[in-house]
């Protein structure tokens, strides 16, 4: 303890030192007798813990010293020690800020007063520190993003921070002092009752809750309620902290959906392989049967068979395209083909109450685009149009148009610029949208569909893809009159539009060349062998790569080409090619793939002479085989 003692009588000072040394052995006393040393002692570091002062000094009075302490170090206890201070002056001194006074003829009281002064000073310091912390804590609570609410045991709200006002949509002025049951909506009262009972039993309760705020927002909160006890251990209040985790839950849901889509993508590859193996013999058999069909009715049935198999093949390619994602760079794209593909999908999969009004000119300008992403734009808009017309049905408009926008026309469209554009329009005669909904349609996760019916990402994806291609999107909608979306994409007018390539002439048949067909699907290899035999080739077959090695060893001198499926049990096409090339490096191998272009790219290191995608036509098989044999002869010649 450090004491500053203001005293001009050495004898009295020594007496004080003696008394305090007995009561406070570790105390340090600094004796001063005038203003200058007193100020120095007051400014010392560390500051004194206590000041003892005589009332009357020749050049410097005790009241002056007290005033200096109050102005410079007001918290330090100040005790007057005087021989004859008098009652009136003593009262005046205490009123002026002195802690107490002691008469010199009652020196035994000095230690008692000092102890009391120091204890009171320590308590005041702790109280001020607690008050400072409370103020600081209050500021933190008010600035917290979480909703922090305190209610007494009767349920009346005693604290409602700004976070609670933002989260629940109720101001502090409307909440404080009211029972929590008056603040909550009816469907949330049961949650509140369970939370109160659980905290009373276990001390805390935690749940994720879906609630509707007073201002009409549907949100998900992480809610925690804790029981607060007083010093005696009795329940005194309930503290609840709620955090808005709506966006987090949406992101988690989107992540899980992405995982499901990834799993579906893997599943789609397997399904596509099986479907293509089913469609391949159907498509080839239709061609074989044409030689037997005489009646026009039979030819018509075969036409339907080929067309249906072709549509099935296109649908499989489309599934694979989406399953493998929208990756890849931009390339010259004729959108008219995408439009017609989407129209086929709509007519095949939408309810018959949805009538398609199409307008797809042949001379639409090409664009530099990722075809899968443009396909996604059209499908997203078409699905939205369909949903807007259910259950009554209506007309879905789908058209393309070449447009040249000048500066005046572009200025009238938000986000537009002058130039040449391909405009894609998707419209409907559905319910339309209110201005309030129309203002929010581009927001991610915003949807007017019921839970589980939509993610709220379709239109934001459309706009994002259009922007990535240098384009923009407009929308017009009226309640009861439908909605029209127009997607403007920069046109590439200089791109060469050669149109579809002319059909290749039928190749000449074989001249007895031996072809080995390897496929684990019996229908595929049997029909392929029949086609080859019918067109002048000889064919032998086997069901997997292991059997093919043995069969090839017996006929290696005669076999000109091996036609092998890529995906087979025991030994796949790539493995078979590797084994056969080791003993016969010049052997020509034609691969068949049921996995689309992704499968062929994956196995490109097998050095196949060519890869043909299932299901293939008879013409495609014969043309490819003829090309391989011709190139082989040219290489040998």
CATH number (domain holding residue 205): 3.30.450.20
DSSP structure string for 581-637: HHH-TT-EEEEEESSHHHHHHHTGGG--SEEEESS--HHHHHHHHHHHHHHHHHHH-
For 503-512, give one letter per residue: b (16+ CB within 10 A) or e. Answer: eeeebeebee
The answer to whether 195 and 185 have CB atoms below 8 angstroms apart is no
pLDDT for the residue 605: 47
Same domain, 121 and 176: no
Q: C-alpha 433: how far from its chain's center?
A: 27
Q: Whole-angstrom Cα distance, residue 622 to residue 287?
A: 12
Q: Is residue 38 part of a domain?
A: yes
Q: Is the confidence at residue 324, as pLDDT, over 60?
A: no
Neighbours of 552 (CB within 10 A): 21
Same domain, 106 and 167: no
Q: Whole-angstrom Cα distance, residue 425 to residue 381?
A: 9
Expressed as residue numbers, the domain containing 482 is: 335-498
The answer to whether 552 and 579 have CB atoms below 8 angstroms apart is no
pLDDT for the residue 258: 64
State the Rg of the chain over Cα.
Answer: 45
Report in angstroms the alpha-carbon separations of 575 from 324, 550, 572. 24, 14, 5
Same domain, 476 and 524: no
Same domain, 85 and 63: yes
Q: Is the confidence at residue 470, as pLDDT, over 80?
A: yes
pLDDT for the residue 542: 94
DSSP structure string for 208-226: EEEEE-TTS-EEEEEEEEE
pLDDT band for position 300 (cuts 50, 70, 90): confident
Q: Is the confidence at residue 356, as pLDDT, over 90?
A: yes
Phi and psi angles of residue 315, each rounded to the nearest 5 degrees, phi first: -65, -40
| Sequence-separated (6 or more) residues with CB below 8 Å from residue 436 | none
Same domain, 117 and 51: yes
Same domain, 357 and 485: yes
Q: Whole-angstrom Cα distance, residue 484 to residue 85?
A: 98
pLDDT for the residue 599: 46
Q: Is the confidence at residue 3, as pLDDT, over 90?
A: yes
Closest-CA residue to 361 (of 501, 497, 503, 502): 497
Q: Is residue 388 part of a domain?
A: yes
Mean pLDDT across 435-456: 68
The answer to whether 331 and 369 have CB atoms below 8 angstroms apart is yes
pLDDT for the residue 247: 84
Q: Is the confidence at residue 601, as pLDDT, over 50?
A: no
| Sequence-separated (6 or more) residues with CB below 8 Å from residue 392 | 353
Mean pLDDT across 314-336: 66
The answer to whether 600 and 616 have CB atoms below 8 angstroms apart is no
| Sequence-separated (6 or more) residues with CB below 8 Å from residue 273 | 567, 594, 595, 599
Same domain, 455 and 559: no
pLDDT in tens, 247-273: 888 787 777 766 666 666 666 666 776
Q: Whole-angstrom Cα distance, residue 384 to residue 202?
A: 49
Closest-CA residue to 53 (of 6, 114, 104): 6
pLDDT for the residue 196: 86
How is residue 361 annotated by DSSP? -
Q: Is residue 257 part of a domain?
A: no
Considering 428, 463, 498, which residue would you say is the last residue of a domain? 498
CATH of the domain at 584: 3.40.50.2300
Phi and psi angles of residue 216, each rounded to the nearest 5 degrees, phi first: 90, 10
Same domain, 229 and 155: yes
How is residue 75 annotated by DSSP? T
Same domain, 230 and 126: no
Say if pTM beats, i.e. exceeds, 0.75. Answer: no
SS3 at position 81: strand
Q: Is residue 603 part of a domain?
A: yes
Considering 134, 165, 185, which residue would you say is the last residue of a domain? 134
Neighbours of 342 (CB within 10 A): 25
Q: For residue 630, list its beta bridge partners.
A: none
The answer to whether 195 and 172 have CB atoms below 8 angstroms apart is no
Report in angstroms the alpha-carbon separations of 314 from 217, 341, 613, 623, 625. 44, 9, 12, 21, 23
Which range, 126-130, 282-286, 470-474, has the best average confidence (pLDDT)?
470-474
Encoded tokens for 232: 């005696």
User: Which segment of 7-11, 372-376, 480-484, 504-508 scores lowest on mean pLDDT?
Assistant: 504-508
Length of the chain measured in residues: 637
pLDDT for the residue 326: 46
DSSP structure string for 83-118: SS--HHHHHHHHHHT--EEEEGGGTHHHHHHHHHHH
pLDDT for the residue 488: 95
pLDDT in tens, 125-154: 888 887 777 777 777 888 888 899 999 998
pLDDT in tens, 492-527: 877 644 555 455 565 678 999 999 999 999 989 999
Q: Whole-angstrom Cα distance, residue 592 to residue 612?
A: 5
Same domain, 163 and 125: no
Angle formed by the axes of helices 296-323 and 246-289, nearest 10°? 150
pLDDT band for position 301 (cuts 50, 70, 90): confident
How does strand 588-593 pair with strand 610-613? parallel
The answer to whether 273 and 595 have CB atoms below 8 angstroms apart is yes
pLDDT in tens, 158-181: 999 998 888 888 888 888 988 877
Q: Is residue 312 part of a domain?
A: no
pLDDT band for position 201 (cuts 50, 70, 90): confident
Across all residues in the chain, what is the average pLDDT?
Answer: 83
Q: How far apart are the first and last CA of the chain?
A: 113
Q: Whole-angstrom Cα distance, residue 335 to residue 346?
A: 16
- Higher-confidence residue of 450 and 592: namely 592
Considering 134, 162, 178, which residue would you say is the last residue of a domain? 134
Q: Is 536 left (phi over 0), alpha (psi -120 to 50) or beta?
A: left
Same domain, 162 and 105: no
Q: Is residue 538 part of a domain?
A: yes
Domain count, the chain: 4
Mean pLDDT across 175-189: 77
Report in angstroms the alpha-carbon separations of 4 from 15, 39, 82, 94, 545. 15, 10, 15, 19, 104
Q: Is the confidence at residue 289, as pLDDT, over 70?
A: yes
Q: Whole-angstrom Cα distance, residue 579 to residue 574?
A: 9
- Biggest CA–CA distance in the chain, Å, is 144
pLDDT for the residue 134: 72
Same domain, 574 and 439: no
- Higher-confidence residue of 604 and 618: namely 618
Q: Is the dihedral of CA 132, 134, 135, 141 positive or negative?
A: positive
With 0-12 / 13-18 / 19 or more C-beta atoms within 10 angstroms meaning exposed / middle / buried, residue 327 is: exposed
Enumerate long-range contacts of 201-207, CB under 8 Å, 24 or more apart: 203/227
The answer to whether 208 and 115 have CB atoms below 8 angstroms apart is no
Mean pLDDT across 406-435: 90
Q: Is residue 266 part of a domain?
A: no
SS3 at position 486: strand
Mean pLDDT across 227-242: 88
Q: Is the dihedral of CA 226, 229, 234, 238 positive or negative?
A: negative
Q: Is residue 253 part of a domain?
A: no
Mean pLDDT across 471-494: 91
Q: Is the confidence at residue 104, as pLDDT, over 80?
A: yes
To 10 degrees, the CA torsion angle through 533, 538, 544, 546? 180
């Amino acid at each position: 303890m450090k004491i500053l003692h203001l005293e001009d009588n050495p004898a009295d000072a020594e007496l004080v030192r003696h008394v305090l040394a007995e009561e406070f052995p570790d105390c340090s006393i600094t004796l001063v007798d005038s203003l200058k040393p007193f100020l120095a002692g007051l400014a010392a570091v560390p500051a004194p813990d206590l000041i003892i002062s005589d009332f009357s000094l020749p050049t410097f009075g005790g009241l002056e010293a007290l005033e200096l302490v109050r102005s410079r170090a007001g918290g330090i206890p100040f005790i007057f020690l005087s021989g004859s201070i008098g009652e009136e002056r003593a009262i005046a001194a205490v009123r002026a800020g002195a802690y107490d006074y002691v008469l010199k003829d009652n020196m035994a009281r000095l230690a008692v007063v000092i102890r009391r002064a120091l204890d009171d000073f320590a308590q005041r310091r702790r109280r001020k520190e607690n008050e400072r912390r409370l103020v600081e804590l209050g500021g933190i609570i008010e600035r917290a993003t979480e909703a922090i609410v305190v209610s007494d045991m009767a349920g009346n709200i005693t604290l409602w921070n700004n976070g609670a006002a933002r989260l629940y949509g109720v101001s502090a002025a409307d909440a404080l002092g009211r029972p929590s049951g008056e603040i909550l909506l009816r469907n949330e009262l049961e949650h509140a009752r369970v939370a109160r009972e659980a905290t009373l039993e276990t001390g805390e309760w935690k749940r994720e809750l879906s609630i509707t705020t007073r201002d009409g927002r549907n949100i998900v909160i992480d809610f925690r309620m804790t029981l607060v006890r007083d010093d005696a251990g009795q329940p005194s209040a309930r503290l609840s902290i709620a955090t808005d985790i709506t966006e987090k839950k949406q992101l988690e849901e989107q992540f899980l959906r992405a995982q499901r889509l990834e799993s579906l993508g893997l599943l789609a590859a397997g399904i596509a392989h099986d479907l293509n193996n089913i469609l391949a013999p159907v498509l080839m058999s239709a061609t074989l049967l044409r030689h037997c069909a005489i009646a026009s009715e039979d030819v018509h049935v075969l036409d339907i068979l080929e067309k249906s198999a072709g549509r099935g093949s296109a649908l499989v390619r489309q599934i694979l395209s989406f399953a493998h994602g929208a990756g890849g760079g931009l390339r010259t794209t004729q959108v008219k083909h995408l439009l017609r593909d989407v129209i086929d999908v709509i007519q095949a999969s939408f309810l018959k109450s949805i009538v398609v009004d199409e307008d797809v000119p042949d001379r639409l300008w090409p664009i530099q685009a990722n075809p899968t992403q443009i396909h996604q734009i059209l499908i997203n808009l078409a699905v939205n149009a369909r949903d807007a017309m259910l259950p009554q049905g209506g007309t879905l408009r789908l058209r393309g148009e070449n447009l040249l926008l000048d500066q005046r026309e572009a200025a009238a469209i938000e986000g537009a610029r002058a130039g040449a554009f391909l405009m894609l329009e998707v419209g409907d005669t559905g319910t339309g949208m209110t201005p309030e909904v129309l203002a929010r349609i581009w927001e991610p996760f915003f949807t007017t569909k019921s839970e589980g019916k939509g993610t709220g990402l379709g239109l934001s994806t459309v706009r994002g893809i259009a922007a990535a291609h240098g384009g923009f999107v407009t929308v017009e909608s009226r309640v009861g009159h439908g909605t029209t979306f127009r997607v403007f994409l920069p046109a590439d007018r200089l791109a060469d539009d050669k149109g579809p390539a002319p059909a290749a002439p039928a190749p000449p048949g074989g001249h007895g060349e031996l072809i080995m067909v390897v496929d684990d699907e019996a229908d595929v290899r049997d029909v392929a062998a029949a086609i080859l035999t019918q067109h002048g080739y000889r064919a032998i077959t086997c069901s997997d790569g292991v059997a093919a090695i043995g069969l090839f060893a017996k006929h290696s001198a005669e076999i000109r080409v091996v036609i092998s499926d890529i995906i087979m049990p025991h030994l796949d096409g790539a493995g078979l090619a590797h084994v056969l090339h080791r003993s016969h490096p010049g052997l020509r191998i034609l691969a068949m793939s049921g996995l689309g272009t992704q499968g062929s790219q994956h196995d490109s290191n097998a050095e196949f002479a060519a890869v043909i995608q299932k299901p293939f036509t008879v013409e495609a098989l014969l043309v490819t085989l003829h090309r391989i044999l011709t190139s082989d002869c040219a290489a040998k010649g």
